[in-house]
Copies of this chain bind each other. A is one copy, B any other.
Amino acid sequence: MAQATIGDSEFDRETAVTLRAPGVYDTRLHPGWTILNVVNGGYLLALMGRALGETLPNPDPFAVSAHFLTPSTPGPATVRTETVRTGRTLSTGQASLFQGGEDGQEVERIRLLASYGFLDALSDDVRTAAKPPEMPPPERCVSADEGPALEGDFAILGRLGMRFDPATVGWAVGEPSGRGEIRAWFELADGRAPDPLSLLFALDALPPAAFDLGLSGWTPTVELTAHIRCRPAPGPLRAAVTTRNLAGGFLEEDAEIWDSADRLVAQSRQLARAPRG
């Protein structure tokens, strides 16, 4: 397949939103971004983030805080946005995703608050000493289709070019490390370069860190906050998800994404319900 570009790719076409009225965007949740017919949360953040970027005067998501209300399914949807405050360096907005329920009434799927700014106006100054996750080069990592066959429809794997660090995939064959960490090289399958919106997706694209603690099954997100800190350089990303606190039936999960220029370009933390398994 020819290399896709920002603006002309699966991700761009399938997160498109169409202005219907001020602050109201029509969209269609694409079945390509689903697991067991439920739409991935990161894809929804990217799509809602795109609508909010069209609403606010500042183009780039800096901090996006989303609370997940009901599961989203492929098909038509509406994003409603609100400008909360505009400012010179940062503006804040709100967005909600709705889908038609069985009785024809709109059901709210996700509500989020977000602060947007200008990533290109930030300095290159870095004061911390954090390092990218240590992992073998992509050719010595493993793709999902080298692992055991999955039960059910993981359509989203067709959109991804992930290659997992072999040290963090034991859980796929019943041998979790117990550390609660999964690392992978991350690209979109059609080779589209990363940008701030695709980082919102990538932050929620890896398997749950709980799998590396020996749990398996559905891990629904309650809340996810993403910070986009830098416009990513072209090339493969490195992503790591970890958890420090799986307790009382919930877990926190932190994600970090590093770009090919060794910059920490995105961070997220989510609260999720722990899998039962």
Contacts and interface: CB of A to CB of B under 8 A. Distances in A.
Contacts of A127: 210, 213, 215, 246-247, 251, 274
Interface in A232-266: 243-252, 256, 263-264
A4 interface: no
A69 interface: yes
A78 interface: no
Work out how many copies of this chain go into the complex.
Answer: 2
B111 A94 contact: yes
Given A69-B92, A225-B269, A243 B108 contact: no
A154 to B, nearest CB: 25
A114 to B, nearest CB: 8
A186 to B, nearest CB: 18
Interface residues of A, number: 56
A187 to B, nearest CB: 22
Interface in A100-138: 108, 111-115, 119, 122-130
A90 interface: yes
Interface stretch (A5-13, A60-68, A141-149, A197-205): A60-68
A207 to B, nearest CB: 16
A70 interface: yes
Contact of A230 (B248, B252, B264): B248
7 contacts: A65-B113, A67-B115, A113-B223, A115-B222, A119-B248, A244-B264, A247-B263
Interface of A: 62-63, 65-67, 69-70, 84-85, 90, 92, 94, 108, 111-115, 119, 122-130, 178, 180, 210, 213, 215, 222-223, 225, 227, 229-230, 243-252, 256, 263-264, 267, 269, 271, 274
